[in-house]
Structure 1
Amino acid sequence: MEMDGHLNKEFHQEVFLGKEMEEFDEDSEPRRNRRKLMAIFSKVDINRDKRISAKEMQRWIMEKTEEHFQEAVEENKMHFRAVDPDGDGHVSWDEYKIKFLASKGFNEKEVAEKIKNNEELKIDEETQEVLDNLKDRWYQADNPPADLLLNEEEFLSFLHPEHSRGMLKFMVKEIVRDLDQDGDKKLTLSEFISLPVGTVENQQAQDIDDDWVKDRKKEFEEVIDANHDGIVTMEELEEYMDPMNEYNALNEAKQMIAVADENQNHHLELEEILKYSEYFTGSKLMDYARNVHEEF
């Protein structure tokens, strides 16, 4: 799920393809993609019965999630060194801010000088909004809150909040804040299928996409609302969004199978995966959202 509460459309592809995801180009040769899907199918089909069960898919999803976490740890080491020029094992908000603005095309030395002298920076409104959001997440990663200095572990929480319980809680609060229209810190179905408060688009516009509403309704009722009382609490949303939750991985596996399970045997045969290949590899017809960690 994205920060705005919308489902991450790219998630199914990431948990099914793993590292191989980047190799699936929308414009690549269909035969090549077909071969790669066949190879992945054989990896998921542990018992070699030529079909994928929900348990096998669950195991695969958990494996890909753990794979992502290990990659995040290695990537974090590299990023941490880049923003910790003095090598003292801590990164200040100003150090990160300088590197961030430099990545956006600002002159690094000029920015560093102005920050050092406490001078005003001329930053466009959009970049400033991103910076403000990042600073909020920086505060959340600094645990316990102290002097806005992050060590390597805290910096990992900042870059990859999907692997941090504290950041997961913060993300849930942000989503509920944006979707909760009556301020009770819970979500009803109507709130969940609406767009965040304050967005230009409105629910009437969203209703045009019946499939979108239908998918979100099913997600709300069958997966997120654990006790099926018609209300999603912050605790339920947090549990749902935990990427290492085995129960949720199983639910996700069942949903992925249901999409392509034409013979209704609750398994996926290779022919079904190949027929619904766009669902598993991505489609140029869909506007995929960025992954959760990229949103931060």
Structure 2
Amino acid sequence: MKTIVHLSLACFLIGIVAAKPAENQPNGNNRGHKLSHADHFHGDGHNADYDHDAFLGEEEARTFQDLSPEESKARLGEIVDKIDTNNDEKVDVNELKLWVENQQNKYISIQVNGRWQLHNIDSDKYVTLDEYIKSTYATTEEELLKLDEAEQIDFKQMIRRDKRRWKAADKDGDGNLNKEELTAFLHPEEFDHMREVVIDETMEDVDKNQDGSVSLEEYIGDMFVAQNGEKEPDWVKTEREQFSTHRDKNKDGKMDRNEIGDWIMPRDYDHAEAEAKHLIHESDKDKDEKLTKQEILDQYDLFVGSQVTDFGEALIKHDEF
């Protein structure tokens, strides 16, 4: 049974996704809500792969990997025409924010539809927990419990987490998940009623000494562990400062549950709007806070670049939103 794929919900969660970057500084290992699998910051600087994923959607961004600059600009020009919904030949922050949000929503819809087909074995109106376990772990819970003790521990932990998240997502309490509830199960970072279970999962992953809080050492250890005498990079030093200045709000030297919630699922931070403002700031040559098509094309490597992962679709089927 060692060939069983360990597809716990952690695999579906996007990491546990990206926290609000305090003061626009590198935020290390991303947790909470985010627009890409890629870290928003890489090393000591901004990571362009995040911008590509957020702007294009991760699936579409892949298609730009092997394009020439001329081909990239041509396809980017088509996208710009879609973003400019009022046809004034300018892209403002609201239009760009709407586009980024649309790419995220497309990714979620595509991903949930795929999982629905995978897990809804009998093709009815809901997914049962048994269907989910069987389609995720390639066997039943009873069979998993027949494994040797070491393997049982791994599976028991994953199934326990799955059941806890399942219960939180099951808003009507019938024990099954309809498509909306399955969406909350797969993307809890998008739903406020899933906030506590996301905090629970983060605590399990980061709170190594299980004292109910996250120390500075645990916080840094979640995003960086020196290997073979490796020198700590500057961005880790910045993260230490962010912990003390922004994460640890009550200044007791650790993050409690409320502070962890503010870290992984900040209620006062709009990721799509922040990304739109960033793209405009980097590309707005005449400083009118809007982008012409030429300004965007001049920065095509910022918007479409190459080397990315997996998020939604923007152009291949030329879908309108």
Is 1:96 the equivalent of 2:119?
A: no
Structure 1 residue 136 displacement after superposition: 0.4
Is 1:67 the equivalent of 2:106?
A: yes
Whole-angstrom distance in 2 between the partners of 1:130 and 1:246: 35
Whole-angstrom distance in 2 between the partners of 1:161 and 1:170: 8
Structure 1 residue 34 displacement after superposition: 1.6
Is 1:196 the equivalent of 2:232?
A: no
For residues 171-199 of structure 1, the C-alpha deviation after alignment (integer angstroms, 9 at most, x for no partner) is: 244335555689674787x976x2418x7
Structure 1 residue 36 displacement after superposition: 1.4
Residue aligned with 1:52, SS: coil
Is 1:142 the equivalent of 2:167?
A: yes
> Which consecutive unaligned segments of at least 5 residues does structure 2 have?
1-13, 19-28, 31-36, 39-48, 312-321
Is 1:250 the equivalent of 2:277?
A: no
Structure 1 residue 38 displacement after superposition: 0.9
> Which consecutive unaligned segments of at least 5 residues does structure 1 have?
103-110, 292-296
Is 1:164 the equivalent of 2:200?
A: no
Greater displacement, 58-67 / 175-184: 175-184
Distance change in 2, residues 1:280/1:139 (3 Å): same
Q: Which residue of 2 aligns with 1:51?
A: 90
Distance change in 2, residues 1:79/1:97 (3 Å): same
For residues 21-71 of structure 1, the C-alpha deviation after alignment (integer angstroms, 9 at most, x for no partner) is: 156241233322221111111222234443322222122223333334443
Alpha-carbon RMSD = 4.9
Is 1:2 the equivalent of 2:38?
A: no
Whole-angstrom distance in 1 between the partners of 2:86 and 2:244: 33
The answer to whether the Cα contact below 8 Å between 2:54 and 2:275 also exists between their aligned partners in 1 is no
Q: Which has the higher helix share?
A: 1
Distance change in 2, residues 1:147/1:69 (3 Å): closer
Is 1:270 the equivalent of 2:296?
A: no
Aligned-partner residue type, residue 278 of structure 1: D
The answer to whether the Cα contact below 8 Å between 2:226 and 2:232 also exists between their aligned partners in 1 is no
Percent identity among equivalent residues? 19
2:146 to 120, 132, 151: 120
Whole-angstrom distance in 1 between the partners of 2:272 and 2:57: 15
Q: Which has the higher contact order (CA 8 A, sep 6+)?
A: 2
The answer to whether the Cα contact below 8 Å between 1:15 and 1:64 also exists between their aligned partners in 2 is yes
The answer to whether the Cα contact below 8 Å between 1:142 and 1:148 also exists between their aligned partners in 2 is no
Whole-angstrom distance in 2 between the partners of 1:55 and 1:219: 29
TM normalised by structure 2 equals: 0.59
Residue aligned with 1:46, SS: coil
Distance change in 2, residues 1:131/1:25 (3 Å): farther
Structure 1 residue 135 displacement after superposition: 4.1
Aligned-partner residue type, residue 45 of structure 1: D
For residues 254-287 of structure 1, the C-alpha deviation after alignment (integer angstroms, 9 at most, x for no partner) is: 1232344455443334344334433333433xxx
Structure 1 residue 119 displacement after superposition: 5.7
